[in-house]
Amino acid sequence: MRTQVEAEITPLVDLIGHQRQTVDQLLENLEHQLRPLNEYAETEESNLQSLEQRLGGEQSESYSVSSRPTSGSSASASRTPVSA
């Protein structure tokens, strides 16, 4: 009985082993093919962070200058809503 079960399971074990090798090779190929795209995405993310930092610095500077209340008004009262 045991030998019969082992004989029937052996092809399945071989198939699973072969499938694992195929998946490993597929992942390796994908990593190789996607490397330029990942490098591009990292560069763009770095550019975006740099831009956000520059814009954040400019906004805080302009806000600190324009948000100073004048006599008789507050900073929130001097803001004008923008219509779409």
Q: What is the DSSP string of 16-66?
A: HHHHHHHHHHHHHHHHHHHHHHHHHHHHHHHHHHHHHHHHHHHHHHHHHHH
Q: Which helix (H) or strand (E) holds 82?
A: none
Q: Quote the pTM value.
A: 0.48
Domain range list for the chain: 20-49
- Per-residue pLDDT band for 59 (boundaries 50, 70, 90) equals confident
What local confidence, expressed as pLDDT, does residue 84 receive?
44
Write out pLDDT tens, residues 11-49.
999 999 999 999 999 999 999 999 999 999 999 999 999
Location of structure tokens 């994908």: 30
Cα separations in angstroms, 53 against 31, 46, 57: 31, 11, 6
